[in-house]
Amino acid sequence: MKKFLITGIAALGLGVALAAPAAADQDAFVKTLANDGWTGPVASAVAVGQHICSDIAAGVPQATTMQTISDNTTDGVEPKDAAFFYTAAAQHLC
């Protein structure tokens, strides 16, 4: 997974910090990403992960959320990377 920086988050409201559920494990989420080769700002990764959880709770299709992630990163995250991020967030943050 390549490094990506989230820049368009605020414009889309993705950066709105939502309280993570009590069962959320941010450390495991970040470790899962790092084990796959991701490097980047932890706060941005968690913000995207929380956005993913919000979308899941709202019933937004996975493909729509992954497209939003890809569209709003500085270097255009590849679909496989967005899918990995989505899965990691669903497992550890939601």
User: Where does the pLDDT of residue 18 fall: very low under 50, low under 70, confident under 90, or very high at 90 and above?
Assistant: very low
User: Where does the pLDDT of residue 88 fall: very low under 50, low under 70, confident under 90, or very high at 90 and above?
Assistant: very high
The pTM of the full predicted model, rounded to 2 decimals, is 0.71
Q: With 60 as the cut, is the pLDDT of residue 56 above it?
A: yes
Helices (H), the chain: 9-12, 26-35, 42-58, 62-71, 79-92
Residue with tokens 């009590």: 22
Of 67 and 21, more confident: 67
Residue with tokens 């988050």: 9
The backbone torsions φ and ψ at residue 61, rounded to the nearest 5 degrees and listed phi first, read: -60, 140
| 85 contacts: CB under 8 Å, gap ≥ 6 | 1, 33, 38, 45, 48, 49, 52, 69, 77
Q: With 90 as the cut, is the pLDDT of residue 15 above it?
A: no
